Amino acid sequence: MDTSESSTAEESTAPAPAQKPDRRGWRRFAMDTRPLRHPAYRRLWSSTIVTAVGSQLTAVAVPKQIYDITGSSAWVGYASLAGLLPLMVFALWGGAIADSMDRRKLLLITNSGIAVTSLLFWIQAVTGMESVAALMVLLAMQQAFWGLNAPARNASIARLVPAEELTAANALGSTVMQTGQVVGPLLAGALIPVIGLPELYLIDAVALCVTVWAVYKLPALPPSATQTKRRAGVREIAAGFRYIALHKVLLLSFLADIIAMVLGMPRALFPQLASQTYAPYGEGLALGLLFAAIPIGAVLGGLFSGTFSRARRHGWMVIGAVVAWGAAIAAFGLSDSLWLAVLFLALAGVADMVSMVFRGAILLSAATDEMRGRMQGVFTVVVAGGPRLADVLHGTAGSAFGPRAAVTGGGLLVVAVMLVLAAAVPALRRYRI
């Protein structure tokens, strides 16, 4: 690792690396499953398979129920904003908490809280409450618990697998989450006419019980013995931001994601493109394919992550992935054919998977364990907030310049800004493990 940026402490709880023969033939391109040899990580990852789908059932059920009550898409948008602020606030605070207490205990508390919230969603639906206010309060609670949970969950990975397997572990986790984003909504659409909307919440609550059990079986993950005991307050959150400012590679990893998502995520323009540019293919078909293409590409990238997960030049991998994302988005904006558009969006999804894997590995390897929770808290805020800012930016630009010009211009801006940043600040280019 480049010690000019950080000096990562050795983790006594991390498993020792095991020797394994080089994979030959097609296996060297397939997903690297080495982290699954470690029982603790395997439990954490297995629980993610269940909750990745279950959480998407609730993600579909909440806006569907709000629309059924109000008949207004505006209220659906307001509900999204109602969940965003608690997520951002509690993710930052949750990162500080994760650095000050046993992360396993925090995961038990927060996963239980999310499960209880899903149960309350089911109760209000099955009793026919039909209250938008209640739904928004429950959504805010759920996102607050999720904000507290995500930093501890992600920061724990470095304590469960050896350092050289962090990229593979991130690829495994990201692939499961992206698969959930594809399978979950499809499953929700199939189940609602059969069992009804309230039962989606109940299925999610039951799935979360599996997660609680898996977390209970994890080893204790207390702060390292060298850490001084601290409170999780504003001062500790501010210390996390100072740490980012002092470690350029961490700052640049966040900036890379902001550049890619804010300038290059065109999902706000998908409805307009489906109704205008790709209307001859069928508006419904076009809209569904546009929304599904990026997650499908990301899943494919994860399934074949063996092609890149062993790369040691993590900085260059992030730079290349963001540039490839921007180029694919620009090509999507220039595409008259729906099938070419879907292909380019899928390629963008592959690039996004590569970027996610290596940015996540940088955050875990370049930060000390006492700061990993706070780094993951900021990461959660960036991941949640970037696409929403992109919705505003692209929606405005699409109205002013037309959707295709806005998409193409955004993709080209991603390429240009990322290349300028990489040339101006060498810390990310030099980072490797």
Report the pLDDT value the prediction gives residue 12, as an integer from 0 to 100. 43
Whether 27 has a pLDDT exceeding 70, the answer reads: no
pLDDT for 387-407, tens place per residue?
878 888 888 888 889 889 999
Question: How confident is residue 411, by pLDDT bands cut at 50, 70 and 90?
Answer: very high
| pLDDT, mean of residues 239-245 | 87
What pLDDT sits at residue 228? 58
Query: How high is the mean pLDDT of the chain?
Result: 85
Token pair belonging to 12: 């006594």
b/e per residue, 403-427, with b = 16+ CB within 10 A?
A: bbebbbbbbbbbbebbeebbeeeeb
Per-residue model confidence (pLDDT) at position 226: 60
Most confident of the following: 58-67, 90-99, 181-190: 90-99
- List CB contacts of 334: < 8 A, sequence separation 6 or more: 404, 408
* Rounded (10°) CA dihedral 185, 47, 299, 419: 110
Q: Is 230 left (phi over 0), alpha (psi -120 to 50) or beta?
A: beta
Nearest 10 degrees: CA dihedral of 157, 163, 168, 174?
30
DSSP 362-399: HHHHSS-HHHHHHHHHHHHHHHHHHHHHHHHHHHHHHH
Under 8 Å between Cβ of 119 and 111: no
Higher pLDDT, 352 or 18: 352
What is the pTM (predicted TM-score) of this model? 0.78
CB 254 within 8 A of CB 322: no
Looking at residue 388, its pLDDT comes to 79
Confidence of residue 4 (pLDDT cuts 50, 70, 90): very low
**More confidently predicted of 312 and 342:** 342
Residues whose CB falls within 8 Å of the CB of residue 195, separated by 6 or more in sequence, listed in order: none
Is 47 a residue whose pLDDT tops 80?
yes
Contact (CB, 8 A) for 266 and 329: yes
What's the mean pLDDT in 60-81? 82
Instruction: Determine the pLDDT at residue 11.
Output: 41
In three-state secondary structure terms, 282 is: coil
Q: Report pLDDT for 58.
A: 87
Closest CA to 219 of 366, 79, 404, 43: 43
Q: 375 near 150, Cβ under 8 Å? A: no
pLDDT of residue 17: 52
Residue ranges with strand state E in 263-310:
none
> Among residues 35, 313, 286, 63, which one has the least CA distance to residue 175?
35
- Rounded Cα distance, 238 and 246, in Å: 13
Q: Is the pLDDT higher at 318 or at 13?
A: 318
Name the pLDDT band for 366 (thresholds 50, 70, 90): confident
In this predicted structure, what is the pLDDT of residue 413? 97
Q: 237 with 97: CB under 8 angstroms?
A: no
Quick one: angle between helices 314-333 and 248-264, nearest 10? Answer: 10
Tell me how far apart the alpha carbons of residues 374 and 385 are, in angstroms, rounded to a whole number: 16
Average pLDDT over residues 418-429: 91
Q: What percent of the chain stands above pLDDT 70?
A: 91
pLDDT digits (tens, 9 = 90+) for 284-295: 788 878 888 898
